[in-house]
Amino acid sequence: MKKSPLQIVNDRFGSKEKLVETVQALADGGLWIERINKDKALDNVSNRKLLHLHDVLSAVKDEVGSRDKLVAAVAKLEKREGDEKHQETLAAMPTPRLWDRYQAAKSRN
């Protein structure tokens, strides 16, 4: 039987508060563009979304290191590293979307 997101959070982190702290620590490391509502913050985000965000930010940090390096890697894999307009467009994308694009470009090459 598949575990629920709450069970996964409790197994891996102990509580939702610890998961939120971990995600915020990863986000402060330059892997995140600030797009959340300051009043609600990450405390009101669902467990499923927080787990996904933690997995994505951890994978980006382990594989490429930072968000800027991820943008450069996507541009290079798409063979458009000289196109400044394209890199600006990539830089405006959220990190999970950039990560998906990176993985797709990597599998194509």
Q: How many CA atoms lie within 13 A of 23 on its CB side?
A: 28
Residue type, position 68, single letter? D
> pTM score, two decimals?
0.84
pLDDT in tens, 71-91: 999 999 999 988 899 999 998
Q: Residue 18's closest CA among 48, 43, 38?
A: 43
pLDDT in tens, 31-49: 766 666 655 677 888 999 9
